Amino acid sequence: MLSNKPYLLRGIFDWCVDSELTPYLSAKILPGTRPPRSHKNAEEIILNISSAATTKLIIDKDFISFSARFNGINEEVYIPMNSISGIYANENGEGIFFEINKKKQESSKKKVSLDKSINKNNRSHLTLVK
């Protein structure tokens, strides 16, 4: 099944633009993320993705990328969809926030291992009746 995340991101971005608000993107810096050089050591980054701040903005189903100037230097930024934790309007804080996929994968792995341990230790009390 397709993720609804890119569609929701585009929707909030369009709402911000139509409402003359400034869309801000919040993202965790995970492997595969290309943040501005000045933010490489940060764990999370918040970026202004308005048309006044960026050029060549692409909101794809797998990533968001754009060019922007940071400290007077033009840089290409690439944010994989699984790194994005939210998009919101800077003026009022309204938007949408997501749980990062990396955490979801870890929690689902824990759940699977927990389910396996429960099944091994506790046999079903149900029996087949004909």
pTM: 0.74
DSSP string, 28-47: E--TT-B--GGGTT-SEEEE
Query: How far, in Å, CA of 5 to CA of 97, rounded?
Result: 10
Residue 64 scores a pLDDT above 80: yes
For the chain, the average pLDDT equals: 83
> Do residues 21 and 91 touch, judged by C-beta distance below 8 A?
yes
Measure the CA–CA gap between 95 and 40, rounded to whole angstroms: 25
pLDDT at 109: 41
Domain map (residue ranges) of the chain: 5-100
pLDDT digits (tens, 9 = 90+) for 7-44: 999 999 999 999 999 999 999 999 999 999 888 888 99
pLDDT at position 34, please? 93
Q: What is the pLDDT of residues 75-129, one digit of tens each?
A: 999 999 999 999 999 999 999 999 885 544 444 344 444 444 444 445 555 566 7
Q: Which CATH code, of 3.40.50.1820, 2.170.190.11, 3.90.1150.10, 2.30.30.220, is assigned to 5-100?
A: 2.30.30.220
pLDDT for position 105: 40
What band does 63 get if pLDDT is binned at 50, 70 and 90?
very high
